[in-house]
């Protein structure tokens, strides 16, 4: 009887019915996902469609193209008036509560046991699949402890790699004719090598096979994160391991190249207390593991995996930012002569420091710093870089408005519309390269400088100083620990690039595309470049 029913059922499964059953199963999975997600108070205004399941499905379908505009609309309607609001999210993500800037202090002061940056990042990047379940806190904490104290001693090596990477990338560019160069590919040739000069040092930072696979791994993380966001959570145990096979492939290929370097460094540091290792991330990971008696961290394969989160965080964000910076410079108001001003400043300071960049000489590049900061303000590549997940079982109650966010809720600060707020930045949609250095110059031109509050404001104008109105490196205790290195890196790249090459200005800005909360840059852009005559 049972066999007969099974046979009849199998015979009834025509291709059309199989497709229908699969669609119904997927819909059921989406509904289960929806019911598992945290529910928010009705007092919080909503963006997007709110027509029950049908509205939710509509929002999911529109998430990729509408998320950024939803946040912009909500900020204009509610955030600017001190109210939090809710925006739709991808199918596998809970809706986002966008906290207004006026409540940023409350948001950022919450302890990690209540609002967690770590858990938010794990959810956004699907660490269990993409980073092989490794905890990313050890490498992040290591960066916090070691990078700032070693950054001065790292500058000569970074300068050498910048000069070498630019010359290698533009090796075929001649002095007497213009060459067409893809800007995205150019920065992919420069940034990974320079970044790895502080991660693994030379000569590994120059190994093209190693760099190619680190870049590919970062590409995998970005692509796979979006895919997993759009797939119901019930499918993640199947889809996650499958699509992250590319992550594992690129990690294994890079590890095959890096393994001799890692094993030698580990052996030298473990066998001799007198050995003076190169100062880079690899050394810091080993040193910190020894100090904390974390013997399980002292394994070559484990160390190579520990490099992955910082590689991902550093490479793509820096390439995107550098790409946008060059576009902003090449599209700047010709009457301001921005490129000439930066070229003059960087050349003069470089000569004054005898051809060797130092922390003080780089810090004195106020116009260059302003031009970079203004680009990061204007050309933000993400709707938000400041996310938190509620991990307190009892949830959290907002003390300003009184709403309650339950366990598992997702909260964020709006970066893009803060940076384009005309109350904070006059003409916010215009690239004003010297917006910040001009304020400094006006202050220094004053005969009386007795206002300590104004003096403090001037000190905070630099691109590495975060605030609730400048969120490019996030803000608060979880602000990007690598921002000081990034600032030096950008300045040295601009200095060498502008001193040695001419680049034709662009007539119109190529269009970027928003995909969820991330802006996809116009990677197809080519620029005309030629080598400058030293005469």
Structure tokens at 265: 């460094």
Distance in angstroms (rounded) separating the CA atoms of residues 308 and 140: 11
Distance in angstroms (rounded) separating the CA atoms of residues 229 and 414: 20
Give one DSSP letter per residue of 283-296, joined into a string.
HHHHHHHHHTT-GG
Q: Please, how many CA atoms are within 13 Å of residue 31, restricted to the half-sphere of its CB?
A: 9
Give one DSSP letter per residue of 27-38, joined into a string.
HHHHHHHHHHSP
29 is in an annotated binding site: no
Contact residues for 444 (Cβ-Cβ < 8 A; gap 6+): none
Distance in angstroms (rounded) separating the CA atoms of residues 405 and 330: 45
Contact residues for 341 (Cβ-Cβ < 8 A; gap 6+): 367, 433, 434
Contact 490, 158 (CB under 8 A): no
End-to-end Cα spacing for the chain: 95
Structure tokens at 248: 């594992």
Look at strands 410-413 and 404-405 and give their pairing. unpaired
Question: Using CA atoms in the order 240, 243, 248, 254, what is the torsion angle rounded to 10 degrees?
Answer: -140
Residue corresponding to tokens 């608060």: 476
Q: How does DSSP classify residue 472?
A: B
Closest CA to 392 of 53, 54, 38, 56: 38
**3-state secondary structure at position 408:** coil
- For the chain, the C-alpha Rg in angstroms (whole number) is 25
Q: How does DSSP classify residue 527?
A: E
Distance in angstroms (rounded) separating the CA atoms of residues 224 and 230: 10
Binding residues: 480
Binding residues for heme: 480
């Amino acid at each position: 009887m049972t066999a007969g029913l099974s046979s009849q059922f199998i015979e009834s499964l025509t291709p059309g019915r199989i497709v229908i059953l699969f669609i119904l199963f997927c819909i059921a999975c989406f509904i289960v996902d929806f019911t598992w997600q945290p529910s928010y108070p009705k007092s919080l205004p909503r963006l997007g469609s709110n027509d029950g399941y049908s509205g939710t499905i509509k929002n999911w379908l529109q998430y990729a193209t509408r998320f950024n505009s939803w946040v912009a609309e909500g900020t204009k309607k509610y955030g600017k008036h001190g109210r939090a609001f809710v925006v739709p999210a991808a199918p596998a993500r809970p809706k986002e509560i966008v906290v207004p800037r006026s409540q940023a202090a409350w948001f950022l002061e919450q302890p990690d046991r209540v609002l967690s940056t770590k858990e938010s990042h794990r959810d956004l990047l699907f660490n269990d699949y993409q980073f092989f379940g490794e905890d990313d806190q050890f490498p992040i904490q290591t960066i916090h402890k070691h990078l700032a104290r070693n950054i001065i001693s790292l500058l000569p090596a970074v300068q050498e790699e910048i000069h070498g990477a630019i010359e290698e990338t533009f090796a075929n560019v001649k002095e007497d004719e213009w060459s067409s160069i893809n800007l995205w590919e150019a920065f992919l040739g420069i940034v990974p090598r320079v970044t790895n000069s502080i991660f693994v040092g030379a000569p590994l930072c120059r190994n093209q096979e190693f760099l190619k696979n680190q870049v590919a791994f970062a590409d995998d993380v970005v692509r796979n994160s979006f895919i997993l966001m759009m797939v119901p959570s019930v499918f993640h145990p199947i889809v996650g391991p499958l699509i992250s096979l590319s992550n594992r492939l690129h990690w294994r290929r890079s590890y095959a190249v890096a393994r001799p370097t890692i094993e030698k460094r580990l052996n030298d540091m473990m066998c001799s207390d007198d050995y003076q290792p190169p100062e880079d991330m690899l050394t810091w990971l080993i040193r910190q593991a020894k100090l904390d008696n974390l013997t399980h961290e002292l394994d070559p394969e484990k160390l190579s995996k520990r490099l992955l989160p910082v590689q991902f965080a550093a490479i793509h964000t820096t390439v995107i930012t550098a790409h946008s910076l060059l576009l902003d410079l090449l599209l700047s108001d010709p009457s301001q002569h921005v490129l000439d001003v930066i070229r003059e400043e960087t050349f003069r300071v470089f000569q004054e420091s005898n051809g060797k960049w130092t922390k003080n000489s780089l810090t004195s590049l106020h116009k260059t710093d302003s031009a970079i900061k203004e680009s990061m303000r204007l050309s933000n590549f993400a709707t938000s870089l400041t996310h938190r997940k509620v991990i307190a079982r009892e949830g959290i109650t907002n003390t300003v408005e009184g709403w309650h966010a339950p366990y598992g809720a997702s909260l964020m600060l709006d970066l893009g519309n803060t940076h384009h707020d005309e109350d904070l930045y006059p003409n916010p949609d215009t690239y004003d390269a010297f917006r910040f250095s001009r304020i400094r110059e006006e202050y220094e031109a004053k005969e009386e400088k007795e206002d300590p509050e104004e003096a403090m404001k001037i000190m905070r104008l630099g691109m590495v100083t975060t605030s609730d109105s400048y969120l490019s490196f996030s803000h608060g205790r979880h602000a990007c620990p690598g921002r000081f290195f990034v600032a030096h890196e950008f300045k040295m790249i601009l200095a060498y690039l502008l001193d040695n090459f001419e680049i034709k200005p662009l007539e119109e800005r190529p269009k970027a595309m928003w995909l969820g909360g991330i802006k996809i840059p116009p990677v197809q852009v080519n620029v005309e470049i030629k080598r400058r005559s030293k005469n």
